Chains A and B, each alone.
Chain A
Amino acid sequence: MFLQQVLNGITQGGTYALVALGYTLIFGVLEIINMAHGEIFMIGAMTGYFFVTKLGWGLVPGLAAGMVGAALAGAVLEFTALRALRRKGVTNLAPLISTIGLSLVLQNTMVRAIGGEPRSFRVPLGNGMLHFGPLMITTAQAVVLLISVVLMLALQWTLSKTKLGRAVRAVSENPETASLLGVNVSGVVLATVMLASGLGGAAGVLVGISYVSVSAVMGLSYGLKGLAVIILGGLGNVKGAVAGGLLIGILEALTVAYGGPTGAAYKDAVAFGFLFLILVLRPQGLFGQSSAATRRS
């Protein structure tokens, strides 16, 4: 029973981790919290929904479409809300507000276009159950978990082995030096924002699959969860984001299972309550370096 709840938590936590990776990539390069990330996640889910249910595409092409849609939304974000603010003398409050502005625009445009009510998102995966000894997992859950893991490994490979990944790490370390060494900084920033958004979009499609529904207002709660996860894992820390996402997923599943009659009601407070506790005891997050939180920003 306990292990079963942990497994459920890991499936849920995998999608949290994907959302959090998007935040953490952008923070690593730009030192900005992208408040529009939740809405980009929603755009990805909606694009996937459109291609799968309206055009009859399969799961993997639909997922790819969702990622491309979200990445394009990321490009819009870079050109409208971020690029113009990237000059000297702008406080870090300004990008926070402008990305909130963009999230209002994205969410309400979508609500205007298709309405706010949830839509059923069915992917033909069958209703099968996979059994591993005493543990069981639905086919949909297994597919979601598998895809999350593949995407995380792909990201890890991109960051550590490719030329783009090296450039991203260089810009994240020091943009001026990277620029002097011939890295096209604005190109790398655009690529990072699109990559981060694409991951967010994939998370959107996966959440749509596991809950069998998508809506124009689904971005907010996942955006908030993602925020809790990255702070927990340490800002700009890729491994921390994955660990934080899994941890919060498991904690939520355990709260629902063992929290008694009110457990389910307090599920949404778990992420932030736990985060609050961690921050008070360990301000840099679970996996952050000691200077991250105390650094002036």
Chain B
Amino acid sequence: MAELLNNYYLQIFTFIGINALLSLSVYLVLSTGQLTLGNAGFLSLGAFTTALLATKAGWPWWINIPLGGLAAAVVAVGLGFATLRLRGIYLAIATLGFTETIRVLWVNLPYTGGSLGIRNIPNINKLFQRFIQTQFDEAPLGLSFSQLANLTVMLGVWLVVTLTLLFIIRQGKSRVGRAYTAIRTDEVAAGAMGVDVVHYKVLAFAQGAFLAGVAGGLTAHTTFAIAPADFAFNKAVEMLTYVVVGGSGVAFGPVLGATALIFMSESLRDLRILGERMSDYRLIIYGVLMMVIMVIRPQGILTPGLFKFRGPAVPSDEQAGVRKERRVRRKGVPS
């Protein structure tokens, strides 16, 4: 137990959790049919807001992290309105422009530390460790103090991921979620049916940005230093990759994508084949895998209909309702 929960593994799982949040932030925006590469910019905004509050103002982490999310969401409302008319690849490149501009801003603004970024951010792992040490003479469960602290942080991050996932699934079944789906399927028709397209598109943008900002705050407080280059084009692409590989049609898809890809890339780190260290070939293998998955499962690993045939023999009321609805639609009855 104590060996399995070593600090290295715990940190990787924390990292996976933060990236799962990021991929969910992209998923949220994508669920209204908007393809964004701007969430790396919001991640950056959240991380730098949090880090500045922590180092310059000395505020505690539990205020800084939500404020990081909030700052990102506020900027996202502005960006969302500005880019409202853009679709598809145009939107992707415009939001990528936002990400790049934010990066250049951090490099050049005073107080943000140039291209080195901000260092000596208070680390919550260390904070918890100190707290636990004041509570116990000896760390419980046969773990060390640092393991216990890392475990707490890891579980905390995954609690946030779980709550977010529950929120997204719940929202998907609500008025808001149905509006998102309607806009994704056909924006003009949704507008004609009375869905407030502008409101919901900007809302999805702000929700995604809030999540990315919170993930940025978590990044700042779980590492000692952040640099503008950590949140550039590569990060934007990475986040999109998790979503597309995992499956962009179901909320579990992005989480699975982030988990599987990071897990794979970490497990290649120590592997040796024919005397060659696989860590040197990590990114090459990663690239090949992305290409292969897109050929065999272009919709991602998880797709909405994947588990339908394994459902209970007697369908629940809700499922029966869905099936009936589908049958009606197939007959061409106008809805």
Contact = CB atoms under 8 A, between A and B. Distances in A.
Interface of A: 33, 35, 80-81, 84-85, 89-98, 100-105, 107-109, 112, 220, 224, 227-228, 231, 235, 262, 265-266, 268-269, 272-273, 275-276, 279-280, 283, 285, 293-297
Nearest to A224: B233
A97 B240 contact: yes
Contacts of B98: 272, 276
Contacts of B187: 296
Interface range on chain B: under 10, 10 to 19, 20 to 34, or 35 or more?
Answer: 35 or more
Interface in B147-193: 187
Contacts of A279: 83, 86, 90, 93-94, 97
Contacts of B286: 101, 104
B83 A296 contact: no
A84 B295 CA distance: 6
Given A109-B284, A228-B93, A293-B90, 15 more contacts: A84-B295, A93-B35, A93-B244, A93-B248, A102-B291, A104-B283, A112-B284, A227-B93, A231-B93, A266-B104, A266-B108, A272-B97, A294-B85, A296-B87, A297-B89
A108 B237 contact: no
Nearest to A275: B97
A97 B299 CA distance: 11
Contacts of A104: 283-284, 286-287, 290
Contact of B284 (A80, A89, A108, A296): A108
A25 to B, nearest CB: 15
A81 B245 CA distance: 15
Nearest to B288: A105
Nearest to B107: A265
Given A269-B104, A276-B97, A279-B94, A101 B294 contact: yes
B99 to A, nearest CB: 9
Interface of A is mostly: helix
Nearest to A278: B94
B93 A275 contact: yes
Contacts of A295: 87
In the complex, the 7 A-B pairs of residues with the closest C-beta atoms, listed nearest first:
A101-B290, A104-B287, A272-B97, A269-B104, A297-B88, A105-B287, A94-B298
A100 B290 CA distance: 8
18 contacts: A92-B88, A93-B248, A96-B240, A97-B244, A98-B295, A101-B286, A103-B287, A104-B286, A224-B100, A265-B107, A272-B97, A273-B97, A276-B97, A279-B97, A280-B94, A293-B85, A295-B87, A296-B87
A80 B291 contact: yes
A95 B35 CA distance: 14
Interface of B: 35, 82-83, 85-90, 93-94, 96-98, 100-101, 104-105, 107-108, 187, 233, 237, 240-241, 244-245, 248, 280-281, 283-284, 286-291, 294-295, 298-299
A290 to B, nearest CB: 11
Given A100-B290, A220-B233, A268-B104, A297 B87 contact: yes
Contact of B108 (A96, A262, A293): A262
A240 to B, nearest CB: 13
B284 A105 contact: yes
A269 B85 contact: no
Nearest to A227: B93
A102 B284 CA distance: 9
A294 B85 CA distance: 7
Nearest to B100: A272
Nearest to B81: A280
A112 B277 CA distance: 12
Nearest to B238: A100
Contacts of B88: 92, 296-297
A283 B85 contact: yes
Nearest to A87: B298
